[in-house]
Amino acid sequence: MISHPPILALVLASLISSLTLVWAAWFALQVVRNWRTESGHAAQITMEKRTYLVSTALVFVLVLEVASLLLFVSNADKMSVMFVGAMCAVGTLNVNDYGMPALMLKLALFFGALVWLIINYVDNKGRDYPLTKFKYTILIALAPLVVVAAGTQLLYFLDLKTDVITSCCSRLFVPEGGGVEASLSGMNPKLALWLLFAGLAVVVIMALMSIRIRFMQKLYGIASAVFFVISITAIVSVISSYIYEQPFHHCPFDIIKPEYNYIGYAIYIPLFTATGFGMAASLLAWRKTPQSLAGSYMSILRRQILFSALLFVIFVTVSLYAIMSSHLVMF
């Protein structure tokens, strides 16, 4: 099983990411302790030169980690035909005890990597790289997450056995079941949609207010995270059912299948990207405006927040299209 090409690609990508981030985290510790842009000492100059190499390597591996989430889920879906009882990615991930934890860790890593990439982009706009210590502090926190995610993913792949009978979405995402999946699928559809549209209105209003109010920029990241949870709940409880045109089918993974025109990607990519941009903008808003970015820092934050809000609107628009074009009538 480990010799399956997509699995080899995922394992190799995780290995490269882990080695690179551990190496970069060691350098980040030196940066956090000793970074002094006002200093002309040889050690500072050497450190500044090394940051170019480290940042370039990090951009490569973190983009790789962002993309690997899509490959991980897509591969799990395609491998479902190999396991008894599996009909989609849910069944494949439930073959052993490491599948779902690996997915959760990769989701956390996706947001962490995206936030770091955005902050690094803003940092590169300043002539003195004013966010260097900040972004390398985040990197130190990301390094163990990458290693744990890589290890969990490897254990998952090594423990895949085709003679195991697994549980799939038809048993997990049902109101009668137990756990988070049952709670999400059992939520009242009307309430889920009301929360979705009300949440979108709040996010858009906050984005527009953040054009002039710095405090709204600080709160926007929290609003993005809350709206993300509301959105996932709506996808599981009602949107997915409209896509399948079956009121009792709530799987959030089947919507990425070709028989549903891969609409899941059009739903998830804007949603996840919008949340990442919102969180990054909020983190940057809590920082004091760097002197070297005094003329552009606020406009950069405004653009990020407005872009995030636009992606949230796209996500809800695609979801609304799925509902309106469905033959299912739930209300």
**Number of helices followed by number of strands (H, E) in the chain:** 12, 0
Residue 137 tokens, joined: 């502090």
CA-based nearest residue to 135, from 214, 17, 31: 31
- For residue 175, the model assigns a pLDDT of 64
> N- to C-terminal Cα distance for the chain?
45
The tens digit of pLDDT for each residue in 54-83 reads 888 899 999 999 999 999 999 888 888 888
Name the nearest CA neighbour of 145 among 7, 25, 282.
Answer: 25
Closest Cα to residue 208, out of 261, 138, 200?
A: 200
Q: Are 15 and 150 in contact (CB under 8 A)?
A: yes
**What is the model's pLDDT at position 331?**
75
The dihedrals phi and psi of 168, each to the nearest 5 degrees, come to -115, -170
Residue (of 101, 105, 125) closest to 113 by Cα position: 105
Determine how many CB atoms are found less than 10 A away from the CB of residue 227. Answer: 27
pLDDT in tens, 189-198: 899 999 999 9
pLDDT digits (tens, 9 = 90+) for 227-251: 999 999 999 999 999 999 988 888 8
pLDDT reported for residue 304: 95
The predicted-structure confidence for 127-169, as pLDDT tens digits, reads as follows 888 888 899 999 999 999 999 999 999 999 998 887 777 776 6
Task: Inform me whether the pLDDT recorded for 273 exceeds 90.
Answer: yes
- Asked if the model's pLDDT at residue 14 lies above 80, the reply is yes
Q: Is 331 exposed, middle or buried (0-12, 13-18, 19+ CB in 10 A)?
A: exposed
Is the CB of residue 91 less than 8 Å from the CB of residue 168? yes
Given a cut of 90, is residue 17 above it in pLDDT? yes
